[in-house]
Structure 1
Amino acid sequence: MTRVSLLLPLLVFLLLGLAGCRCPTPATPAAPSRRPLRTVVVISLDGFRHDYAERAGASAAPTFARIEREGARAKRLIPPFPSQTFASHATLATGVRPAKHGILNNSFRDRRRGRYRQEDDVSWYDAPPLWIHAQRLGLRSHVYHWPSSSGAWHGTEPAFWRLFNRHVRDDEKVGAIIDWLRRPAATRPALIMSYFFGCDREGHDHGPDSPEVARCVRETDKRVARLVSAVSAAHAALVIVSDHGMTKTLGEINAQRALDAAGIRGEVLSAGPIGHVYLDARADLERARVALAKLPHLAVRLPDALPRYQHPTRSGDLVLVAEAGYRLQPKLAGLSGGPTAGGHHGHDPNHPHMPGVFYLFGDGVARGAKIASARAIDVVPTVCKLLGIAPPTGAEGKVIEAALR
Structure 2
Amino acid sequence: MKRLKTFLLALLLAAPAWAQVDTTQHVVEGRRNSPEQMQKPYVIMISADGFRYDYADKYNAKTLQALRAQGVEAASMVPSFPSKTFPNHYTLVTGMYPASHGLINNYFYDPQRQESYSMRNRDNVEDGSWYGGVPLWLLAEQNQMLSASFYWVGSEAPIQNTLPTYWYTYNEKIPFEERLQTVVDWLRLPEEKRPHLITFYLPEVDHAGHSFGPDAPETKQAVLELDAQLKALTEAVAKTGLPVNYIFVSDHGMTQVDQENTLPLPAAIDTAKFRVSGPGMIVELHAKDKSAIKSTYKKLKKEANGAYEVYTKHNLPKHLHYGTKDDAFNRVGDILLLTKAPKIFHFSGRKPAPGMHGYDPAAVKDMHATFYAWGPAFKPGVKIPSFQNIHVYPVVTEILDLPYSHTINGDGSIAKSILK
With the shorter chain as reference, the TM-score category is 0.7 to 0.9
Residue 279 (structure 1) shift: 2.4
Q: Equivalent residue for 2:223?
A: 217
Contact 1:46 1:200 in 2 (8 A): yes
Residue 227 (structure 1) shift: 2.2
Q: Equivalent residue for 2:337?
A: 320
Q: Equivalent residue for 2:361?
A: 349
Contact 1:231 1:362 in 2 (8 A): no
Identify if the C-alpha distance between structure 1 residues 392 and 149 changes in structure 2 by more than 3 Å, giving closer, same or farther. farther
List alignment gaps of at least 5 residues for structure 2. 1-27
Residue 394 (structure 1) shift: 1.1
Determine whether 1:270 maps to 2:282: no
Determine whether 1:247 maps to 2:255: yes
Whichever residue aligns with residue 190 of structure 1, its letter is: H
Identify if the C-alpha distance between structure 1 residues 171 and 319 changes in structure 2 by more than 3 Å, giving closer, same or farther. farther
State how far apart, in whole Å, the 2-side matches of 1:326 and 1:29 are. Answer: 52
Identify if the C-alpha distance between structure 1 residues 393 and 263 changes in structure 2 by more than 3 Å, giving closer, same or farther. closer
Contact 2:279 2:347 in 1 (8 A): no
Correspondence for 1:226 among 213, 232, 257: 232
Whichever residue aligns with residue 56 of structure 1, its letter is: Y
SS at structure 1 position matched to 2:267? helix
Whichever residue aligns with residue 59 of structure 2, its letter is: A
Identify if the C-alpha distance between structure 1 residues 330 and 147 changes in structure 2 by more than 3 Å, giving closer, same or farther. farther
Whichever residue aligns with residue 272 of structure 1, its letter is: G
State how far apart, in whole Å, the 2-side matches of 1:394 and 1:349 are. Answer: 24
Figure out how many residues of one structure are paired with residues of the other and give that number: 370
State how far apart, in whole Å, the 1-side matches of 2:278 and 2:100 are. Answer: 20
Q: Equivalent residue for 2:314?
A: 304
Contact 1:264 1:288 in 2 (8 A): no
Paired residues for 1:162-173 under 5 Å: 162-173=168-179
Percent identity between matched residues is 32
Determine whether 1:42 maps to 2:45: yes
SS at structure 1 position matched to 2:77? strand
SS at structure 2 position matched to 1:123? helix
Residue 80 (structure 1) shift: 0.4
Deviates more, 1:70-79 or 1:143-152: 143-152
TM-score by length of 2: 0.82
Contact 1:78 1:374 in 2 (8 A): yes
List alignment gaps of at least 5 residues for structure 1. 1-26
User: Residues 16-71 of structure 1: CA distance to partner in whole angstroms, max 9, x if unpaired?
Assistant: xxxxxxxxxxx9886432315211101111000000011112xxx22111112212
State how far apart, in whole Å, the 1-side matches of 2:31 and 2:344 are. Answer: 43
State how far apart, in whole Å, the 1-side matches of 2:190 and 2:176 are. Answer: 24
Residue 362 (structure 1) shift: 1.6
Paired residues for 1:3-402 under 5 Å: 31-33=32-34, 34-35=36-37, 37-57=40-60, 61-113=61-113, 114-118=115-119, 119-121=124-126, 122-233=128-239, 234-250=242-258, 251-255=261-265, 258-259=267-268, 262=270, 264-270=272-278, 272-293=280-301, 294-295=303-304, 297-306=307-316, 308-310=321-323, 311=327, 312-332=329-349, 342-350=354-362, 351-391=364-404, 393-399=406-412, 400=414, 401-402=416-417
Identify if the C-alpha distance between structure 1 residues 163 and 230 changes in structure 2 by more than 3 Å, giving closer, same or farther. same
Contact 1:105 1:271 in 2 (8 A): no
Whichever residue aligns with residue 384 of structure 1, its letter is: T
State how far apart, in whole Å, the 2-side matches of 1:161 and 1:218 are. Answer: 27
Whichever residue aligns with residue 265 of structure 1, its letter is: K
Identify if the C-alpha distance between structure 1 residues 392 and 368 changes in structure 2 by more than 3 Å, giving closer, same or farther. farther
Q: Equivalent residue for 1:5?
A: none
Residue 346 (structure 1) shift: 0.9
SS at structure 2 position matched to 1:167? coil
User: Residues 292-342 of structure 1: CA distance to partner in whole angstroms, max 9, x if unpaired?
Assistant: 331452111111223521325211121121112222223148xxx9xx661
User: Residues 133-169 of structure 1: CA distance to partner in whole angstroms, max 9, x if unpaired?
Assistant: 1110111011222123213111222212222223335
Q: Equivalent residue for 2:8?
A: none
Contact 1:259 1:266 in 2 (8 A): no
State how far apart, in whole Å, the 2-side matches of 1:149 and 1:392 are. Answer: 21
State how far apart, in whole Å, the 1-side matches of 2:359 and 2:296 are. Answer: 23
User: Residues 239-259 of structure 1: CA distance to partner in whole angstroms, max 9, x if unpaired?
Assistant: 11000001110242232x635
Deviates more, 1:73-82 or 1:172-181: 172-181
Contact 1:232 1:362 in 2 (8 A): no
Residue 192 (structure 1) shift: 0.5
Identify if the C-alpha distance between structure 1 residues 392 and 157 changes in structure 2 by more than 3 Å, giving closer, same or farther. farther
Q: Equivalent residue for 2:16?
A: none
Whichever residue aligns with residue 334 of structure 2, its letter is: D
State how far apart, in whole Å, the 1-side matches of 2:315 and 2:157 are. Answer: 34
Contact 1:42 1:238 in 2 (8 A): yes
Contact 1:279 1:285 in 2 (8 A): yes
Whichever residue aligns with residue 286 of structure 1, its letter is: K
Contact 1:274 1:346 in 2 (8 A): yes
